[in-house]
Amino acid sequence: MFDLSDKIALITGASRGIGLAIAQQLAQAGAMVVCVSRTLSAVEKVAADMQAEGLKAEAFACDVSDIQTVDKLVKSLVGRHGRIDILVNNAGITRDTLLLRMSENDWDTVLNINLKGAFNCVKSVTRPMMKQRSGKIINISSIVGLIGNAGQVNYAASKAGIIGLTKAAAKELAARGITVNCIAPGYIETDMTTDLPEKNREMLLKQIPLGRIGKAKDIAVMVHFLASDEANYITGQTFTVDGGMVMN
Ligand SMILES: NC(=O)c1ccc[n+]([C@@H]2O[C@H](COP(=O)([O-])OP(=O)(O)OC[C@H]3O[C@@H](n4cnc5c(N)ncnc54)[C@H](OP(=O)(O)O)[C@@H]3O)[C@@H](O)[C@H]2O)c1
């Protein structure tokens, strides 16, 4: 079940945290994972560690906010492997501050990476996936995109935007056999969340019915399912993986 043998998967933000767990999960299911982030040395180490375990992995530096770099990367990937089966838009950043203090640069930087970056990658893989008449696109949003969060106007807007992008792309691409889905993680233990003061962490824990902070693997297994043929009849959806914080 959920076999990904010989699938070609592009994972953005794969150098650490959730992206790294996704890359490992998909590679263990048999996929050839193309790991990208802005820091070449970090993704090269990720790919080398996986190769040492007998898994299939490649590494490239790419800033997802730059459409030309993304397009070049996807073209060379398709040139080498002949296809692209899975795209996971995971790269993301935060620049948190209250609305009144938020600079135009804080807004633009977060929107450019989190939302435009996802658009750039979706746009670049669409042509080859349409030709193949198959493909799985999985976008990583956040529960903050569903319920908002004080101090994160830029981040919340970018993550809500990803949900809209997912639904519109899912409708456009369904007839070509391409599914587009979204995962909205809750609070997951990664570098992005390590700075949270102990007091806030305790308050947050009280809001998680399952009583624990999430692990990157909790998100990776959901990506694995959505990337598999077993999920062929699911598109345009947003799945919260959050220990029950947000219940629809
Ligand atoms: N952790 C959570 O609680 C949580 C909750 C909800 C949603 N999420 C979302 O899940 C995703 C992963 O989060 P995380 O916690 O694993 O974050 P993280 O540990 O900070 O990792 C972020 C990854 O994105 C890469 N990245 C950042 N900007 C990039 C760019 N312009 N181009 C390409 N790669 C870029 C980083 O590598 P470089 O710096 O080398 O580029 C890194 O690999 C994000 O989209 C985040 O918003 C996280």
For residue 195, what pLDDT is reported?
A: 85
CATH architecture classification, 8-241:
3-Layer(aba) Sandwich (3.40)
Could you tell me the CA-to-CA distances from 122 to 4, 11, 172, 210, 248 in Å, in that order? 20, 12, 12, 33, 27
Helix (H) or strand (E) holding 58: strand 56-61
Query: Alpha-carbon distance 22 to 10, whole Å?
Result: 10
pLDDT of residue 197: 87
pTM above 0.85, yes or no: yes
Backbone angles phi, psi at 65, to 5 degrees: -75, -10
Largest Cα separation within the chain, whole Å, is 52
246 Cα–ligand 1 center, Å: 21
Q: Is 95 exposed, middle or buried (0-12, 13-18, 19+ CB in 10 A)?
A: middle
Confidence of residue 150 (pLDDT cuts 50, 70, 90): very high
User: How much is the pLDDT for 176?
Assistant: 98
Q: What is the pLDDT of residue 194?
A: 87
pLDDT for the residue 171: 98
Give per-residue pLDDT as tens, 11-20.
Answer: 999 999 999 9
Angle between helices 67-81 and 117-132 (to 10 degrees): 30
For 41-58, what is each residue's pLDDT tens digit?
A: 999 999 999 999 999 999
CA of 94 to the centre of ligand 1 (A): 9
Mean pLDDT along residues 76-92:
98
pLDDT digit string, tens, across residues 114-128: 999 999 999 999 999
Q: Could you give the 3-state DSSP secondary structure of residue 139?
A: strand
What is the pLDDT confidence band of residue 143, given thresholds at 50, 70 and 90?
very high
Q: pLDDT tens across 179-201, in order?
A: 999 999 999 999 998 888 889 89
Place of tokens 């959920």: 2
Residue 137: closest CA among 81, 185, 176, 193: 176
25 in contact with ligand 1, CB cutoff 6 A: no
For the question of residue 155 being annotated catalytic, the response is: yes
Which of 12, 38, 189 for a ligand 1 pocket mutation test, highest count of atoms within 8 Å of Cβ?
38
Task: Single out the catalytic residue among 155, 179, 181, 243.
Answer: 155
- For 137, the enclosing helix (H) or strand (E) is strand 135-140
Residues 209, 17, 9, 181, Cα dihedral to 10°: 30
pLDDT recorded at residue 220: 99
Interval 157-168: pLDDT, tens: 999 999 999 999
Distances in Å between the Cα of 10 and the Cα atoms of 70, 132, 145 are 11, 16, 23
| Rounded distance between C-alpha atoms, residue 83 and residue 29, angstroms | 18
* Residue 191, Cβ density class (10 Å: 0-12 exposed, 13-18 middle, ≥19 buried): exposed
Cα–Cα distance for residue pair 141/146, rounded to 1 Å: 9
* Distance from residue 138's CA to the centre of ligand 1 (Å): 15
